[in-house]
Amino acid sequence: MFFSVQKLINEIVPDEPDPAAANALQEGLGGQFGEMRTMMQYLFQSFNFRGNAQPYKDLLHSIGTEEIAHVELLATTIATLLDGAPGYNGKASDDLDAPAAGGATPLETALSNGNIHHFLVGAQGALPVDSAGNPWSGSYVYNSGNLPLDLIYNLMLESTGRLQKCRLYEMTANKTARATIAYLIVRDQAHENAFAKALETLGVDWGKLLPIPKTHAEKYPEVKVLLEAGVHEKQYHFDISGQSQLSKIFSGPGPMHDGATLSVPEDPPQGFPVPPARERFEEFAPGLDKELLEHVQEIAESELAVTPGGAAGASGPDAGPVSKVTGKAT
């Protein structure tokens, strides 16, 4: 089962809205080699895993769990790039009819920028589609049940994902987009390390083949900073049971012969704040009238149903997931 923390796995760096960049990033989210695919592929491989090779199952499960956070990060990045994109930045108002008053067209940009569905179907938020608008498909998921084959395919998936993210980096100078793209390039490299190392334990000698492709992504300044911090050498296990055997595979010299030393941190990542998503009256989002808004406000300000120290064991806003679940001090 899964628990959640209301944090993002990487920082959202502020910049101007950019609906065209938001649409390009949809490929990294809902494309054939995007984060929705890596998430579903590794989780299904883990759920369907047969036999006793637990360290390999833990590897698939750990990376699959991380990919959930990548889907969240990329969706938040896309929504941030879209937010306010119509150039309508009117203040939150009691007058819910204000956005298009007097014949104004606050959503006009939807006709000429990016994907019209971002404004017409969604409300300046991410969609489970690729950059050409094709819906994400479960048929992308590869899970043969044969461990070496699945690992080979996963390495191909991470390599293609990294290639496309390097292309995305070269399409936009927007800081919000580039910060997320750079982070995902480096995590793809970590996952290339993970699957290549797993195949190495099964007898593969990579020689000089890795990394695939030879993108030399360290030329991108945001990527260079992350590589220098060793973000490509770590893999979190995301397992609060303390029984993960991931480090039996993800440890020692990296398979790329780049001087990397692989390790599994004991503690989960700290995370970064989720940026607030403001109301968008021109999108009728959230679409509550005055009466409903007052009602929602009353609920938000009411006392918690579960008191601190009660059945759920809540212990304050900064308590980590481990303490909430197990009741143990962290």
Residues interacting with Mn ion, by CB under 5 A? 35, 38, 67, 70
Q: How far is the CB of 184 from Mn ion (least distance, A)?
A: 6
Convert 60-87 to b/e letters by CB count within 10 Å (16 or more is b).
Answer: bbbbbbbbbbbbbbbbbbbbbbbbbbbe
Nearer to Mn ion, 107 or 198 (CB): 198
| Least distance CB 112 / Mn ion (angstroms) | 31
Residue nearest to Mn ion (CB): 70
d(CA 81, CA 41): 27
Collapsing DSSP to helix, strand or coil, 234 comes out as: strand
* In the complex, least distance from residue 163 CB atom to Mn ion, rounded to whole angstroms: 13
Alpha carbon separation from 313 to 26, 242, 247, 307, 324 (Å, rounded):
39, 20, 31, 8, 6
Find the angle CA(29)-CA(254)-CA(223) to the nearest 5 degrees. 45
For the bound state, the minimum distance from the C-beta of residue 181 to Mn ion, rounded and expressed in Å, comes to 12
Q: State the nearest-atom distance from the C-beta of 324 to Mn ion, in Å.
A: 26
Q: Which is nearer to Mn ion, 65 or 109 (CB)?
A: 65
Choice between 29 and 256, CB closer to Mn ion: 29
Q: How far is the CB of 187 from Mn ion (least distance, A)?
A: 5
Provide, rounded to whole angstroms, the least separation between the CB of residue 70 and Mn ion: 4
| CB nearer to Mn ion: pick between 35 and 72 | 35
Look at the chain and count its residues.
Answer: 330
Which of 8, 136, 26, 165 minimizes the C-alpha distance to 82?
26
Min. distance of Cβ 35 from Mn ion in angstroms?
5
Nearer to Mn ion, 176 or 189 (CB): 189
SS3 192: helix
Which 3 state secondary structure label does DSSP give 130? coil
Residue spans of alpha helices (H) in the chain: 19-30, 35-47, 54-82, 117-120, 147-169, 175-201, 221-228, 290-301, 321-326
- The residues near 206 (Cβ < 8 Å, ≥ 6 apart) are 196, 199, 200, 255, 256, 257
Smaller CB separation from Mn ion, 10 or 174: 10
CB-wise, 22 or 40, nearer to Mn ion? 40
- Looking at the Cβ atoms of 35 and 58, the one nearer to Mn ion is 35
What is the number of helices (H) and of strands (E) in the chain? 9, 2
- Match 């990296």 to its residue by tokens: 254
